[in-house]
Chain A
Amino acid sequence: MNEVLEVENLFKKYKNGRGVENISFKIKEGEVLGLLGPNGSGKTTIMKSITGLLNIGQGKVNICGYDLSENFEKAITQLGCLIEKPVSLEYMTAYNNLKIISRYYEGIDSSRIDEVLESVGLKKYKNEKVKNFSLGMKQRLSIGMAILHKPKLIILDEPANGLDVEGTKELRDIILKLSKEYMISFLISSHLIYEIELICDQILILKEGKIIDRCTVADVIDKGEVLESYFLDKIKTKVD
């Protein structure tokens, strides 16, 4: 399988000294990688660096063979994302939010927009302004905005935030379908370990801006452990 994302020695420090260092990992086609870590461990910093929202100090980010810093427009075409919180233009309708994004890509017509709205369960609200949406609906719209252009890699930062039990299950089904049937890769962070366990193939555990462990969910289960206990044991260990 081809590598969709390759992160090499990523280094990003903020003025307060926090950030991430020496971050290296790869994601293959169709793979779902979970980022686990306590608050402030650097999950969002890694995701923002991969999407070009942060200027990285050192390191390389390669998306589908394109270096992010040297070939930004080609690299970012292969990527869709939802970072930190659902972001949409609240004074516009759901349809127009997707229409705005569609103009940046070739070949996205109104039928594709309708298809995406259908897949995230917002088809009947397509002409309603986003400011009237619930948090869960905004979250679903943001996911629609991330998958609209059929990217090869999707980055989701706390995607289940604001979703109810039913919405969380629907989201899980969408992710699993896209990864298994369409070979789309995912990088997902979530504080809901149960969700990570159900969705992800591999896991990176972060603490204080460093990767302290990488494992497969299957390996943890084979050892007879629960992912939550495994994670808690790992983050208790001291970082070098």
Chain B
Amino acid sequence: MNIILAGTINETQKIISKKKNLIVLFLILSIVLISAIINIVSNNFLGANVINSAKLPITVLDFTMALVIPIFIFMITSDLFANEISNSTIIISLVRPVSRFKVYITKLISVSVFIITILASMFISSFIVSMFSGKISEVFGELLINLYTYIAAILPLIMLITITAFIAQFLKSSSGTVVFMVIGFLLLPVISALVPEFSVILPTSYIDWYQNFSYSSINVYTITNEFMFIVGYVIIFLSLGVYLFERKDI
């Protein structure tokens, strides 16, 4: 079996074997269900939807991208790095015929695959429930825009995964990495609000890049400009993370 594929299957198996990850996945999907219930109840009692049914997938995405999915990324990425290093289970992968670079990459790919699976589940489930609480023609009318927006949401999340993996190289515990990342994630937007000049260089400014796709008109300049920043951050944090991981004494 191709070694990258083997490593990715292994790391994904580790993620789905942990009950806490499956519970969080269930909670994320339950947000879709709660949104649909709110809509159906408001439609029956108020005569109108609280959430535009055709935009329900985007509303759910906005809500989860604000904190829930980032925290989930911090949890599973730090589990695969900081936690495995602190309890020495990383040795299981490192003494195999696979270079440290490939171990690092397979961990990032498996987290990305898992997050893409969550986004796909959110999209499909929110699309299905939106058909029950709104006009089917409107729901189908927004289908492509919603789909592009979900696909676009993958890139900023990959940036978050590479940043978390990089930070995990410095911290010795999984919980420490999660706390550090959550504080950073909440604090950086405050800094960019206080000092708008910093906003352009802070990675948190680009988490909502996907929102550029949720409008009927698309601003190509903004999308390209922000895309370059995100790719730049991915390359920088990936290179630094691999460099540190390869030189780490276990």
- Tell me, yes or no, whether B250 is within 8 Å of chain A by CB: yes
- Contacting B at CB under 8 A, from A99-153, are 100-101, 103-106, 145
B44 to chain A, nearest CB (A): 44
**Are the C-beta atoms of B92 and A101 separated by less than 8 Å?**
yes
**Are the C-beta atoms of B250 and A48 separated by less than 8 Å?**
yes
Complexed CA–CA distance, A76 and B92 (Å): 12
B15 to chain A, nearest CB (A): 11
Report the stretch among A49-57, A174-182, A193-201, A208-216 that lies at the interface: A49-57
**Are the C-beta atoms of A74 and B97 separated by less than 8 Å?**
yes
**Are the C-beta atoms of A53 and B250 separated by less than 8 Å?**
yes
- Tell me, yes or no, whether A192 is within 8 Å of chain B by CB: no
- Tell me, yes or no, whether B135 is within 8 Å of chain A by CB: no
**Are the C-beta atoms of B247 and A55 separated by less than 8 Å?**
yes
Complexed CA–CA distance, A100 and B3 (Å): 12
Complexed CA–CA distance, A74 and B94 (Å): 13
**Are the C-beta atoms of B94 and A53 separated by less than 8 Å?**
yes
**Contact flags (1/0) for B91-125 with A, using CB distance below 8 Å?**
11011111100000000000000000000000000
- Tell me, yes or no, whether A77 is within 8 Å of chain B by CB: yes
**Are the C-beta atoms of B97 and A73 separated by less than 8 Å?**
yes
For B247, the chain A residues whose CB sits under 8 A away are: 55
Q: Which of A54, A77, A89, A96 gathers the greatest number of chain B CB atoms within 10 Å? A: A89
Decide: A145 near B92, CB < 8 A? Known: A73-B98, A100-B10. Answer: yes
B132 to chain A, nearest CB (A): 37
- Tell me, yes or no, whether A8 is within 8 Å of chain B by CB: no
**Contact flags (1/0) for A64-105 with B, using CB distance below 8 Å?**
000000001110110111011101110110001100110111
Decide: A81 near B95, CB < 8 A? Known: A87-B89, A100-B10. Answer: yes
Decide: A85 near B88, CB < 8 A? Known: A48-B250, A105-B97. Answer: yes
**Are the C-beta atoms of A88 and B10 separated by less than 8 Å?**
no
For A77, the chain B residues whose CB sits under 8 A away are: 97
Complexed CA–CA distance, A61 and B29 (Å): 51
Interface size for chain A: under 10, 10 to 19, 20 to 34, or 35 or more residues? 20 to 34
Decide: A96 near B17, CB < 8 A? Known: A84-B88, A88-B92, A103-B10. Answer: yes
**Are the C-beta atoms of A53 and B249 separated by less than 8 Å?**
yes
For B92, the chain A residues whose CB sits under 8 A away are: 87-89, 97, 100-101, 145
Complexed CA–CA distance, A19 and B88 (Å): 20
B82 to chain A, nearest CB (A): 16
- Tell me, yes or no, whether B239 is within 8 Å of chain A by CB: no
**Are the C-beta atoms of A87 and B91 separated by less than 8 Å?**
yes
Decide: A89 near B97, CB < 8 A? Known: A55-B247, A103-B9. Answer: no
**Contact flags (1/0) for B1-36 with A, using CB distance below 8 Å?**
101001101100110011100000000000000000
Closest residue of chain B to A100 (Cβ to Cβ) is: B10
**Are the C-beta atoms of B95 and A79 separated by less than 8 Å?**
yes
For B91, the chain A residues whose CB sits under 8 A away are: 53, 83, 87
**Are the C-beta atoms of A104 and B96 separated by less than 8 Å?**
yes
**Are the C-beta atoms of A91 and B89 separated by less than 8 Å?**
no
A94 to chain B, nearest CB (A): 13
Decide: A72 near B9, CB < 8 A? Known: A88-B89, A89-B17. Answer: no
**Are the C-beta atoms of B95 and A76 separated by less than 8 Å?**
yes
**Are the C-beta atoms of B95 and A52 separated by less than 8 Å?**
yes
B187 to chain A, nearest CB (A): 32
Decide: A100 near B13, CB < 8 A? Known: A51-B95, A55-B249, A91-B18. Answer: yes
A76 to chain B, nearest CB (A): 5
Complexed CA–CA distance, A73 and B17 (Å): 28
Q: Which of B1, B3, B94, B249 gathers the greatest number of chain A CB atoms within 10 Å? A: B249
**Those 5 A-B pairs whose CB atoms lie nearest each other, nearest first:** A103-B6, A104-B96, A53-B250, A73-B97, A77-B97
Q: List 6 A-B contacts (CB under 8 A).
A: A48-B249, A51-B94, A53-B94, A53-B249, A83-B91, A89-B17
